[in-house]
Amino acid sequence: MALAPRLDLRQSQSLVMTPQLQQAIKLLTLSNLELESFISDEVEKNPLLDTGEISTESGEAPDGEILSEPGAQGSDEILSSGPSESESTLDMQGDTDSFSSNSLSESDGALDGQLGLNGASSGSAAGGEAPDFENMLTVEITLTDHLMDQAGAVLSGMDLFVAQHIIDQIDECGYLQADLLELAQRLNVGLVDVERILGVVQTLDPVGVGARDLAECLVLQAEDADRYDPAMARLIDNLDLLAKGALPQLKRICGVDDEDLMDMISELRNYDPKPGCKIGGGAVQSVVPDVFIAERANRWIIEVNSATLPKVLVNRSYYSELKDGAQDKQSKEWLNECLADANWLVKALDQRQRTIVKVATEIVKQQEEFFRKGVAHLRPLTLKNVAEQIEMHESTVSRVTSNKYLSCSRGTFELKYFFTSGIQSSTGGEAASAEAVKSHIKSLIDNEDPKKILSDDKLVALLKDRGFDIARRTVAKYREALGMGSSVQRRRQKALEGKAA
């Protein structure tokens, strides 16, 4: 068969994501703080974008119901719409997005103590900017800096140089993570000198820092408290027996009676197994909620936290000036592209907030008992359930609930927290959330009689009496997830606590 060039005509279809579509998807996933950084970058790149007043968007329902903003569109609509719509719908004004005059940020302060809000400072109507509390935070000293300051006061020259390398190998919990022989070879100093300087480092504050294991950490603290006698030394050498609750064996090894053994165990309980955590360790990252939920007069109020989001507007007057000055074709194309991008970003931000309110509203509807009565009444919920109710795609709901937090009277929760698997009811009624079952397990174990520790089989029976049809292996899995030991471990723990008391 001869080889020859030829032309073929084929027809095919493919889904292409436009830059606007990619941007809309990205905006849905970002949290408020991430979005603020994104907006700042866009304002720097696009001369037609400007930041205006901060607006408040909330939804309030009368008579105990929860309603989204009238006429609000979901993110599915914006993903399917294009930039060909009229510019009048894209240019957002400050007074076009009012939901209800009875919003959280406009309240008289009744919820200030509950949610930590101040209506006067959350908006621009207060007449000034809110204080920047982040700038008031002092720089927290790290454990390394804390130890080096002390080492510089007692060491100098080569000893201080070796001490610096030792301190650099101490982790945030205060434990030395380096081999002394390797450190001595790397620094070309004697092992005896390294051990001597380590002894100096171990005398620094906090007590117990520089230890190579838990036993050495406890020894350092016992020596500092002048409680390191031969009996305490043997007890620390047999921490594995203490963990097993082998008290008769420990009495024989330490050569003490019950009272002295309980006294030594009580002393060990007062020691810190992670002394380094007392000092710094890095800046604490606080969680900023993206949505506020509150109940007032049997009404649920859902508000997007706009305090961290500047209002983005299209600067029309500046566009007119640039348009009159543009002469060549390339400049006009660039200006039109900036206008289209600015219009799209404004619209995408507005639809993002509306979508968040819509999803949060449905979550409150589905989990109303949780907000009223607590985690024991959390219902099983999936992304598909919410997507069907608000007529959006499941992937859109997933993006909206990612990296976002909800603040209510019961605390701050990630939106993903409200989506849990279900446990079938033993009475044939409505299924219960896995988090609710964990709450019941924790309650049963916390209130158990020290003389009658509940086994997993007993927990299964008690949960069944409460209406939860759950297998023993599932109870064990949930118990371990809560950080609670088995019945044998808890019995030993209760015995130690009883004797120590």
Q: pLDDT of 353-397, one tens digit each?
A: 889 999 999 999 988 888 888 887 788 888 888 999 998 888 888
Q: What pLDDT shows up at residue 423?
A: 66
Conformation bin of residue 192: beta by default, left when phi > 0, alpha when psi is -120 to 50: alpha
Q: What pLDDT shows up at residue 134?
A: 47
CA-to-CA distance for 249 and 252, rounded, in angstroms? 5
Q: What pLDDT shows up at residue 257?
A: 87
Q: What pLDDT shows up at residue 82?
A: 45
Residues of the chain whose pLDDT is less than 50?
A: 54-138, 428-429
| Side-chain-side CA neighbours of residue 382 (13 Å) | 8
CA-to-CA distance for 57 and 350, rounded, in angstroms? 10
Q: What pLDDT shows up at residue 123?
A: 37
60 backbone dihedrals φ, ψ, rounded to 5°: -130, 140
Which alpha helices (DSSP H) does 14-154 contain, by range? 19-29, 32-45, 75-80, 112-115, 119-122, 143-154
Q: What pLDDT shows up at residue 53?
A: 52
Q: What pLDDT shows up at residue 281?
A: 52
Instruction: Return the SS3 of 493.
Output: helix
287 backbone dihedrals φ, ψ, rounded to 5°: -95, 125
The secondary structure element, H or E, covering residue 434 is helix 434-446
Q: What pLDDT shows up at residue 284?
A: 54
pLDDT digits (tens, 9 = 90+) for 286-302: 778 888 998 888 888 88
Q: What pLDDT shows up at residue 127?
A: 41
